[in-house]
Chain A
């Protein structure tokens, strides 16, 4: 996947990703209309399918709302790269099949507006704008299995079939 980067700072919390005032619905498209708006009000209008979010540490901290990764995914974001993720956001993203990569170097060096190409299997991140390559740890195979089955629901269906 390849796309233009939106850059965010430290500790972007789930209230910034999708404020509670919009949580009276769980429709991903409705949520996507307000995604990231408290962090950057222009984001919901300007984000395009394929764009990539790059953030610093502790992205997605705060509540357990799966609405956060759902809204990001529904907005068309193809991948989120961060220095680190809050743990519930991390598992939610895997469970719903939103690609995410932890890579401190990429999080530091990639700037807003850079064009970036990501290879999830190898964890390689190539910055076309700066001609730099960064290496993230690829997913553990357990999590790769979940991702390969389209998320946790597919994984559970598969497990039930095995029984």
Chain B
């Protein structure tokens, strides 16, 4: 089980919980597990092609998965954070 940090706009799926538990060895596994517990959340995280939406950042521990192996990144028991992209400038 890993802890997943849920951003405010997605808490309507998690009964307003900001921290939830999920199973899965990879990020995509965690997303599938979240969908089982909280139906509807997957569609908010993945686009129609099954890719992580452009404007969502997912971190495994401190690392942005875009710099690792994307949705196939191993979770290794680390906390997963889902963070809407913050635009600079």
Indicate whether A and B interact.
Answer: no
